[in-house]
Amino acid sequence: MTEPRPTPIIVFDVNETLLDITSLSPLFERVFGDSAVLREWFAQLILYSQTMTLSGRYAPFGKLAVGALHMLGTIHGITIKSDDIDEFKQRMSVLPAHPDAAPALETLRDAGFRLVTLSNSASAASPTPLERAGLADFFERSFSVEAVSKFKPAPETYQWVASELNVSTAQLVLVACHFWDTAGAQAAGCSGALVTRSHNAVLPLAELPAPDLIAEDLGVLAKKIIARWGAP
């Protein structure tokens, strides 16, 4: 008799996957005169977070985010003022949830899945960004890479979550809207589920694993997760 397969634990990325970073756009429009600089800032933030890890160094994600903002100011010939930093930090603390987040999380929870988060952001005092966005109650735990002083997609980040949950990485499904995150999770032994939000797509390269699941929003992705990994 075949033993029932264990139901995997679903691990959610936070920024941009669950929380909408486009709420920062008014700040970038005011400071740089172009809201599109938001995407330039975010790309630099991810680039230099990975540079820190590859260089064996670590600084909190929020500190790195402010540094990237100052760097872009230098590149664009704009002085970033203390009031700009204050506004930036305030907006980062109240990022709204994407409209599809809560319904998808409820669907997965009701289907019996355990849900946790894994974020590059440092842990925060209550009320956390997830609490402010109304999503915190869906998750049994929220993990920060600060525990291992490495940023995703370093394998240690996903392995640490598995260790804390007392499971193997094979029992984790990483949900993210960033292909670099799902690819990193798969390299560490997890499954990867990609939601293709705006500005995100799969890198078509044979040397990198395609996500196990791909969907255009979290609602569709939740249904695919249940169809693939739900109880037999």
Domain boundary among 59, 93, 127: 93
| Structural domain contains residue 120 | yes
Q: What is the mean pLDDT of residues 162-185?
A: 98
220 band by pLDDT with thresholds 50, 70 and 90: very high
Specify whether 135 is located in the same domain as 224.
Answer: yes
Is residue 162 helix, strand or coil?
A: helix
152, two tokens: 């995703």
- Cα–Cα distance for residue pair 44/160, rounded to 1 Å: 26
Q: What percent of the chain has pLDDT over 70?
A: 97
230 band by pLDDT with thresholds 50, 70 and 90: confident
For residue 2, the model assigns a pLDDT of 46
For residue 221, the model assigns a pLDDT of 98
| Structural domain contains residue 156 | yes
For residue 5, the model assigns a pLDDT of 64
Amino acid code (one letter) for 42: F
| Predicted confidence (pLDDT) at residue 3 exceeds the cutoff of 70 | no
CATH of the domain at 125: 3.40.50.1000
| Structural domain contains residue 201 | yes
Are the C-beta atoms of residues 107 and 226 closer than 8 Å to each other? yes
Total domains present in the chain:
2
Query: What is the DSSP code string of 128-192?
Result: PHHHHTT-GGG-SEEEEGGGTT--TTSHHHHHHHHHHHTS-GGGEEEEES-HHHHHHHHHTT-EE
Specify whether 139 is located in the same domain as 88.
Answer: no
Domain that holds residue 104: 9-20+95-229
| Structural domain contains residue 1 | no
Specify whether 46 is located in the same domain as 124.
Answer: no
Domain boundary among 41, 70, 93: 93
Q: What percent of the chain has pLDDT over 90?
A: 94
- DSSP tally for the chain: helices H, then strands E: 9, 6
7, two tokens: 């139901």
Specify whether 56 is located in the same domain as 80.
Answer: yes
Return mean pLDDT, the chain. Answer: 95
CATH of the domain at 39: 1.10.150.240
Specify whether 111 is located in the same domain as 213.
Answer: yes
Domain boundary among 77, 93, 109: 93
| Structural domain contains residue 4 | no
- Cα–Cα distance for residue pair 102/211, rounded to 1 Å: 23
Q: For residue range 63-110, list pLDDT tens digits in order.
A: 999 999 999 999 999 999 999 999 999 999 999 999 999 999 999 999
| Structural domain contains residue 105 | yes
